[in-house]
Chains A and B, each alone.
Chain A
Amino acid sequence: MSATLVANVVIAGVLTGLVYGLMALGLSVIFGVVRVVNFAHGEMMTIAMYAAVLLSGAFKLDPMLAALPVAAAFFCIGYALQAGLINPFITRPEHSQFILLVAVATILTNVLLMVFGPDARSVQTDYQLDSWELGQVIVDKARVYAALAALGTTAALFAFFRFSRTGTAIRACADNHFGALVTGLNVKHLYAFTFGLGAACVAIAGCMMTLLVEVSPTVGPSYTLLGFVIVIVGGLGSMPGALLGGVLIGVSEALAGLFIDPSAKSMFSFALLIVVLLFRPQGLLGRKA
């Protein structure tokens, strides 16, 4: 096994990991503000992937471009979901929230199954098989585009939270729910807005993901679990943590696939999760609760 091969695999892992990171970022933002764990996250991602596949099939729309309308639609759906369905549950016990979102996830997965059938689908682009050669290292174009889009979205989200008034208000809600209410912030609206942002993140991640893998209705739960692993490793509620966690998991999956067995790759992710939970339960970049 040559060093070049390892380098290739690690680079691919980092690039895929950035897309994973964007997906997990949505989960992390929602938990960090609304304090609800979105157990339907992977299912939402799957729907975004189907949207990209359909737009690509019907209008020859590149997933990179499809990401924009899909993200806008997901923002609205996320907003409605939080305002209509989840908001009454934010004061309920965790197991109640869990069942609510499991029910949502079940409905989403099986509606996809009803409409599209169990077969896997994928998008076709003309750059999918292209790659750049840097010396001996080969980098897939699609992977680079996907990773750049993920990084761009993350940067935009970061700027939004840092500089915009709404973003600042959302951070205030996250820091002190009661204080936010007292100062007259419309917390319900801000929570729904946040959920919309999280949904938009997962929408863009889903569109990018179609450049890398195919999609079938039943992949949702494994993406949900992947999202959990990443945010816990990086730090639930931490934005840079989600990205770091994504890259770590992306690389560990790629290396486990290369050195051991592709079917064992997520075992290492879960092992990493268990180790992090035990020794740094707030995650690598998380703040202590």
Chain B
Amino acid sequence: MSARARALLVALAAVLLALPQFAGSYLLSVATLALYFAYTGQAWNVMMGFAGQLSLGHSLYVGLGAYAAAAVFTKFGIGPWAGAWVAIALCVAAGAAIGVLAFRFGISGVYFALLTIAFAEFTRIGFDHIGWLGGPGGLFLKVGQRSSWDLANLRGTPAMFYYVMLALTAGAFALCAALLKSRAGYYWQAIREDEEAARALGINTFRWKMFAVIISAAMTALAGVFFAFYYNNLFPEQIFNIGQSIEIILGPIVGGVGTLFGPVLGAALLTGLADALNNLVAAMGWDIPGVKQVFYGIVLLLVIMFLPNGIWPPLARRLGLGR
């Protein structure tokens, strides 16, 4: 990472740390949402951007993580920090199961992507029929936001949730930066570029692809835990929805697949865009359902047509940041 990139990162960190001091609660909730998508996008990017395995079912890990932490909290009174380990364990198991099945049987490309959708949809409908967790009626946590901080139980002000999400995002960024420079990162990139050639060079492609899936699943599990304690209500229809998976991957694709800054930039732009459209539609009085999504779709279409590698790579060149 160049000196300029480092300076940019420090400036960004300073702004993000100071944000709750001057931002109102509304702006803070938008920023929290942007960080949430930056984090999940970073997690997805490990699998697709680094190792080249296209997952279209990341809502599976968000949902499993959220339900695991929420279930042990509401049913057994176990707090989110211990619950997070349950969530991670469950998601790693699910990711490993999908990985073993897919990679052992040589499923790749479109077929792998469709397999991940199938698992997410299967689980969504499955959770609709688990009465113990509320089924389609949802699972609810006791009201979450309070005036004081209670980090041990993830109960506190919006600013606390913002800082928790910021810490997660920063952690994910650091982890990905380290991974990209590690042996695993280079193996992944070799697999992404040409799996046959990577295997010919003696890389155990099965093992390293599994590693990517497991890291990505474990990271996404924490996003699920956050989701559960931030929103305090979970519905299978919503959290396992394919729309959730799509939202997760839009950020990194718009920002730049395989880059470190791409998921962050993409999530910030898309969340900001969605919010601006909300306000625009409200201000102009176009109160018809669907208007906002049509605009969103058009912007997405234009980005993917004219910036096929995402916004970050050309922007980084323009700013003289290298890659």
Contacts and interface: CB of A to CB of B under 8 A. Distances in A.
To the question of whether A and B form a pair in one complex, the answer is yes
A131 interface: no
Contacts of A221: 242-243
B308 A110 contact: no
A261 B250 CA distance: 35
A107 B294 contact: yes
Contacts, number: 125
Interface residues of B, number: 44
Interface string A258-289: 00010110110011011001110100000000
B12 interface: no
A102 B300 contact: yes
B297 A107 contact: yes
Interface in A84-106: 85, 88, 92, 94-96, 98-100, 102-106
A273 B118 contact: yes
A274 B106 contact: no
A57 to B, nearest CB: 21
Given A103-B300, A114-B294, A94 B129 contact: no
Contacts of B126: 267
Majority SS at the chain B contact face: helix
B280 to A, nearest CB: 15
A118 B290 CA distance: 10
B128 A110 contact: no
Contact of A278 (B101, B136, B296, B304): B101
Interface stretch (B107-115, B163-171, B224-232): B107-115
Contacts of A271: 122
A109 interface: yes
Interface stretch (A175-183, A205-213, A225-233): A225-233
B301 A100 contact: yes
B48 interface: yes
Given A37-B110, A263-B125, 4 more contacts: A99-B249, A110-B290, A110-B294, A277-B118
20 contacts: A31-B110, A94-B113, A95-B253, A104-B297, A106-B296, A106-B300, A107-B294, A110-B291, A110-B293, A110-B297, A114-B288, A114-B289, A228-B117, A232-B114, A263-B128, A263-B136, A266-B121, A267-B126, A270-B125, A277-B115
- List the 10 shortest-distance A-B pairs measured between CB atoms, nearest first: A113-B290, A110-B290, A106-B297, A107-B297, A110-B293, A267-B125, A103-B300, A103-B301, A270-B122, A114-B290
Interface of B: 48, 54, 56, 101, 105-107, 109-111, 113-115, 117-119, 121-122, 125-126, 128-129, 136, 242-243, 246, 249-250, 253, 257, 288-291, 293-294, 296-298, 300-301, 304-305, 308
Interface of A: 31, 37, 85, 88, 92, 94-96, 98-100, 102-107, 109-114, 117-118, 217, 221, 225, 228-229, 232, 236, 261, 263-264, 266-267, 270-271, 273-274, 277-279, 281
